[in-house]
Amino acid sequence: MSRLDLVIFGATGFTGKQAVIHMVKFAKKYDLGSWGVAGRSETKLANLMTEVSKKTGEDVSNVKIIIADVDDEKSLKDMCSQTKMVVNCCGPYRLYGEPVVKAAVENKANYVDVSGEPQFMELMQLRYDEQARAAGVFIVSACGWDSIPADMGVIFLKQNFAGTLNSVESYLKTYMPPEVEAEARERGVINYGTWESLVYGIAHHDELPALRKKLYPDPLPPLKPKLLRQKLQKKGSKWYLPFLGADESVVYRTQRYLYHKEQQRPIQFRAYFKSGGLLQTILTIFGGILLYIMTKFSFTRNILLKYPKVCSFGMITREGPTDNVMNNTHFTFELVGKGWENGADVENTKPNKTVIAKVTGTNPGYGATVVALLMSALTILKEKENLPAAGGVATPGAVFKNTNIIKKLIENNLNYEIVDGK
Ligand SMILES: NC(=O)c1ccc[n+]([C@@H]2O[C@H](COP(=O)([O-])OP(=O)(O)OC[C@H]3O[C@@H](n4cnc5c(N)ncnc54)[C@H](OP(=O)(O)O)[C@@H]3O)[C@@H](O)[C@H]2O)c1
């Protein structure tokens, strides 16, 4: 029996549903043969497909419905053995991800997800990389807003640098028009699933150093000049704080991969986000510290998980943001790359060249995310000749660096451009 091209698992979740809606359009646009949706409730999946059909105006009766539960190993095996690609939207990945990765590897299915959880991603690399290579499949996490804009942004900057790129600093800004703010306060801007992943991620953050020691026992060679993390930066009248998402972890792993596999000089990377004016910045710092402390004790962690809206000052809700809020949330990553012109003495002179790239888009959590996720899946399915020879558990940058994924992202409104220093 021939396998389905892809299956969206966790299709009934907030992100999963957006992925299914987009997939209806992409299956036509990119001529995808057959695909399916999977989850643990048949009724929910059937209702989802009725809703998707209404919303898109398309006949979706040919989309296969598969019942699969993370707690039922056989159901995961059945799902993975009937598809070439699992698109996993079922998170938090720390709680639900590993059985799906394991089943994908064992049943020779490729796998992509939108995890932004470094511990999960690095643990999967440690545990399944060899097996995935032996099976000849790609297991690629962080294919959403974490961390396609940043990871592929660094690759894009390098491809357009014409010289030696030493470091990239990323500055994230988000924007929403004032007339949507009241609705955003009412319904939030992020769905509960991301909050749950974040809370568990911070709670277990201290596991990372030991994990990294196992994953990368040898340090990278010292790079000059060293890119230090600034605690607080001012650009114009606004302040920027370190962005503690998954981007630094993912870009680091990509650069490690390119250093080990292709002997490329690693690029140093730091990420920041715009926190606003001084008062907002001080409040953000206090909020961050309070969140960190609260994740550390089960009693306060449960408060965070039980009362997401109150604890996130209205940003997180269980019903998720409205379409209007999502479609009016815009983002820009400004990636400032520094290095040397071609022919410069890299060892003995200071960097003499700056190139700036911008990655821009709309609806970071659920629009740009699912576009990036589905373009990642399609790239693995359709561009075998441009992927690394072996499979494995790797980052988007490592797997997609020689593909046309950026072209496909741009076609779908996740834009990459060089804005300065061409
Ligand atoms: N990187 C990014 O930019 C980005 C953006 C958005 C989301 N995310 C991540 O995506 C993940 C999902 O977020 P979300 O907001 O979509 O969460 P959600 O709405 O809670 O969806 C979770 C999904 O997992 C399913 N699920 C839970 N337990 C299961 C089990 N035992 N077996 C099978 N399915 C199970 C749920 O099925 P039921 O419907 O049956 O309960 C649901 O479909 C989170 O980890 C989030 O952080 C990342």
Read off the pLDDT of residues 50-102 as tens digits, 9 standing for 90 and up.
999 999 999 999 999 999 999 999 999 999 999 999 999 999 999 999 999 99
Q: What is the pTM of this model?
A: 0.96
**Mean pLDDT over each residue of the chain, to the nearest integer:** 96
Say what the pLDDT of residue 356 is. Answer: 98
Rounded distance from Cα 91 to ligand 1 centre (Å): 4
pLDDT at residue 33 above 90?
no
Rounded distance from Cα 162 to ligand 1 centre (Å): 41
Rounded distance from Cα 366 to ligand 1 centre (Å): 12
pLDDT at residue 422 above 70?
no
pLDDT at residue 399 above 90?
yes
Give the start-end residues of each E strand in 102-232. 110-113, 138-140, 163-175, 190-191
Confidence band (pLDDT; 50, 70, 90) for 1?
confident
Query: Given ligand 1 and candidates 12, 22, 37, 87, which is best to mutate, with the most ligand atoms within 8 Å of its CB?
Result: 12
Which protein residue has the closest C-alpha to ligand 1 atom 3? 145
Say what the pLDDT of residue 409 is. Answer: 98
Ligand 1 contacts CB of residue 144 (under 6 A)? yes
Ligand 1 contacts CB of residue 89 (under 6 A)? yes
Ligand 1 contacts CB of residue 96 (under 6 A)? yes
Instruction: Let me know: does 106 contact 100? Beta carbons within 8 Å.
Output: no
Residues forming a β-bridge with 245: none
Q: Give the helix/strand (H/E) hosting 370.
A: helix 369-382
| Index of the ligand 1 atom closest to the CA of residue 91 | 45
pLDDT at residue 114 above 80?
yes
CATH number of 6-143+370-400: 3.40.50.720
Say what the pLDDT of residue 161 is. Answer: 96
Say what the pLDDT of residue 297 is. Answer: 95
311-355 per-position pLDDT tens digit: 998 999 999 999 999 999 999 999 999 999 999 999 999 999 999
pLDDT at residue 278 above 90?
yes
Confidence band (pLDDT; 50, 70, 90) for 200?
very high
241-269 per-position pLDDT tens digit: 999 899 999 999 999 999 999 999 999 99
Say what the pLDDT of residue 163 is. Answer: 96
Query: Given ligand 1 and candidates 95, 114, 305, 331, which is best to mutate, with the most ligand atoms within 8 Å of its CB?
Result: 114
Give the start-end residues of each E strand in 261-363. 268-276, 316-317, 330-341, 353-362
Confidence band (pLDDT; 50, 70, 90) for 35?
very high
Please give the Cα distance from 145 to 32 (Å, whole number): 23
Rounded distance from Cα 293 to ligand 1 centre (Å): 25
- Render the burial of 348-380: b for 16+ CB within 10 Å, e for the rest: eeebebebbbbbbbbbbbbbbbbbbbbbbbbbb
Average pLDDT over residues 180-196: 93
Ligand 1 contacts CB of residue 149 (under 6 A)? no
Rounded distance from Cα 53 to ligand 1 centre (Å): 21
Ligand 1 contacts CB of residue 90 (under 6 A)? yes
pLDDT at residue 420 above 90?
no
| Index of the ligand 1 atom closest to the CA of residue 93 | 45
Confidence band (pLDDT; 50, 70, 90) for 377?
very high
Q: If you count DSSP H runs as helices and E runs as strands, how many of each does the chain have, helices first?
A: 17, 16
Ligand 1 contacts CB of residue 118 (under 6 A)? no
Average pLDDT over residues 234-243: 94
| Index of the ligand 1 atom closest to the CA of residue 190 | 15
Ligand 1 contacts CB of residue 197 (under 6 A)? yes
Query: Given ligand 1 and candidates 89, 243, 395, which is best to mutate, with the most ligand atoms within 8 Å of its CB?
Result: 89
Give the start-end residues of each E strand in 108-249. 110-113, 138-140, 163-175, 190-191, 233-235, 238-242
Which protein residue has the closest C-alpha to ligand 1 atom 17? 193
Which protein residue has the closest C-alpha to ligand 1 atom 14? 193
pLDDT at residue 211 above 80?
yes
Say what the pLDDT of residue 405 is. Answer: 98
Ligand 1 contacts CB of residue 114 (under 6 A)? yes
Closest by CA to 377, choosing from 86, 30, 65, is 86
